[in-house]
Amino acid sequence: MNTKSSLVKAGLGIAIALLLILSNAIAPKLSQAQQQQPNCNNPRSTVEYNQCAHLAYQEADRQLNQVYQQLTASLRPNEREKLIDAQITWIQYRDQNCEFEVEANRSGTGYRGFLSECLEWMTRQRTTEFQNYLSSGRFRRR
């Protein structure tokens, strides 16, 4: 009976270990799915706020890239080169400026969110600038 009960206990131990492994493997996937869909209308945690701020920045960046492509397509080669150089410099400026603006919060839990907000704001400003170039007709292929 000892051998049989030992085998049963060992089997139960293996089953429990497998359940723990599987639950640990599933839990991160569930939290990743939840992280992908934060409630940005009413973030309830700093983590959710940071995620929402980052999503807003990503959307602003997507819009900027779309308008940038339209603008570069309307430029002559020498103008396009100048804009590319200017945009590279602007991205460096934006990133460094936002790092400066949120430096006081670097050790806080909201730091990433504050940084994303700054990046979003500056990116939206740049998008508006490019949209103004496009609507002015100032930079059209001649």
For the stretch 95-106, pLDDT in tens is 999 999 999 988
At position 50, the amino acid (one-letter code) is N
At position 4, the amino acid (one-letter code) is K
Q: Distance (Å, rounded) from C-alpha 41 to C-alpha 51?
A: 12
On whether the CB atoms of residues 34 and 99 are closer than 8 A, the answer is no
- The contacts of residue 48 (CB under 8 Å, 6+ apart) are 38, 39, 40
Residue 38: pLDDT band with limits 50, 70, 90: confident
Instruction: Please state the pTM of the whole predicted model.
Output: 0.71
Least confident of 7-21, 30-44, 98-112: 7-21
At position 5, the amino acid (one-letter code) is S
Residue 53 CA, distance from chain mean position: 8
Q: Which two tokens stand for residue 6?
A: 């030992």
